[in-house]
Chain A
Amino acid sequence: MTQSILPINVQVRGLHKSFGSNNVLSGIDLDICKGEVVVIMGPSGSGKTTLIRSLNFLEIADRGIIEVCGITVNAAQFKQSPNHQLRTRVREIRRRTAMVFQSFNLFGHMTALKNVMEGLISVKGQSRNAARVRAMELLKKVGLADKADAYPLHLSGGQKQRVAIARAMAMDPEVILFDEPTSALDPELREEVLKVMRALADDGITMIVVTHEVRFARDVADRVVFMEGGHILQDCSPARFFCGNDNERIGRFLGLIEA
């Protein structure tokens, strides 16, 4: 495969996480190359959301090694004694990645434009003017320049998610994590969000997407990772995944979501 020549952007080794007696992640190993679009699928409770939230430490795994953009953090160490050095590394990982949430999480007291500007000012230390220009460009890119002054309350779900994507893009992330970005949307609104995501994939940014969108996975993804019960059951190309998958469990899952 040609992918192996590309530098590795995200590396996960032996990731474990349990909530009480429930093992959500039981030893995940995963390598993702620069520029790859990886779709993570699986039934609910299979650990896919926990996995991507572990990558930027919104969820802290019990043990395992996470390396993102060349920054390595031992999850167990961070959990037990999050000292200054480890916290700085986690901050650095967060600065170099971005996340898009199922529930959008736009800042409710700020306009669309201010939402996109916030990270540029607060994290990248840009001036208000520079941030405004850049934020406007990004809103144009997601087709929402005319909504710059609207508050999240007055935006549709699809518009909110597009603002959230613009906000994520403003950080110039090397990796974007999508946590079920279209699950809270009706079919029409989904399409406008997926369109923006396809454009991002064409830009060559590394994307890790937890989703049930079969068409997106089939058309856009370089790889599909199927999870169940905290394990990775299959990790292969979309062509292999969707066309006559010989794994009985996955076949059943696909039968249900494609029906």
Chain B
Amino acid sequence: MIELFLRAQPLLEKAVLVTIGLGLASYFLGCLLGLLIALARISTFRLLRCLAFCYVSIFRGTPLLIQLLLIYYGLPAYGIVMGPIASALLALTLFAAAYLSENVRSGISGVDKGQWEAAWSMGMSYWRTMLRIVLPQALRIALPPMGSRMIGLMKDTSLASIVTVVEMTRVAEQIGAATFRYLEMFMLVGAIYWFINQVLTVVQTLLEDRLSRHFK
């Protein structure tokens, strides 16, 4: 057992970094895109609302694996060729943005209408009100579901193994195949996923406490 782990260690070390990097990067990009989509979804412009609605409908309504395969194996047919990591990053970002936009949108609509009215009655503009008054409070409301998304996304990175990204799941598979010790290897990476997500859970709890300090 020990000798198996020692053999896996150098590969796993890199793979853990790839998994965490892929998860965090697609999450933050997904948050940015999700915020823009949420703003489009509540915009007064019909076209923007419609586009945002379609986006969420498509990327939330189809499997992540299909999106990933389309980008990696499908797009080259149109001359768009991306490496494995870039493909995985793009797919995870687009997928996460669909869910995160809904979290942000529900956060925004959860802010009391009186907050808008108070800002408007002072002569503040829509965007100024959104930025300084509504979004900070919407974020507090949206934080728990957004945290769950982060954890979900960290696990979804395992699908990147399908398009040859050398992340944790792929390393487990490779070493498992070479040694016929699939059980130990998948148990091991399963435990690492679990550990990463426990750390994220703690961070989320701390953030929630911090943001809701003045509201309990």
Residues of A within 8 A of B (CB): 56, 58, 91-92, 94-95, 97-99, 101, 103-109, 118-119, 122-123, 151-154, 164, 167, 171, 177
Contact = CB atoms under 8 A, between A and B. Distances in A.
Interface string B133-155: 10011001000000000000000
Question: Which 7 pairs, one residue from A and one from B, show the smallest C-beta to C-beta distance?
Answer: A95-B123, A105-B114, A151-B214, A105-B118, A99-B121, A94-B123, A119-B122
Nearest to B121: A99
A153 B117 contact: no
Chain A, interface SS category: mixed
B115 interface: yes
A60 to B, nearest CB: 12
B164 interface: no
Contacts, number: 68
Interface in B108-130: 112, 114-115, 117-125, 128
Contact of A123 (B117, B118, B123, B215): B123
Contact of A58 (B117, B137, B215): B117
A101 B123 contact: no
Contact of B123 (A58, A103, A171): A171
Q: Which of B123, B132, B137 has the most CB of A within 10 A?
A: B123
Contacts of A177: 121
A172 B103 CA distance: 38
Contact of A109 (B114, B117, B121, B140): B140
Contacts of B216: 153
Given A94-B122, A109-B137, A109-B140, A103 B114 contact: yes
A114 to B, nearest CB: 10
Nearest to B128: A122
A122 B215 contact: no
Nearest to A111: B214
A151 B137 CA distance: 14
A125 to B, nearest CB: 11
Contacts of A153: 214-216
Contacts of B122: 94-95, 98, 118-119, 122-123, 167, 171
Contacts of B125: 91
Nearest to A93: B123
B114 A101 contact: yes
Contacts of B214: 108-109, 151-154
A103 B136 CA distance: 20
Contacts of A94: 120-123
18 contacts: A94-B120, A94-B121, A94-B123, A95-B123, A101-B114, A105-B117, A105-B118, A107-B118, A108-B115, A108-B215, A109-B214, A118-B122, A119-B123, A123-B124, A164-B118, A167-B118, A171-B122, A177-B121
A109 B120 contact: no
Q: Which of A103, A109, A153 has the most CB of B within 10 A?
A: A109
Contacts of A123: 122-124
B184 to A, nearest CB: 49
B132 A122 contact: yes
Nearest to A118: B132
Contacts of A106: 118
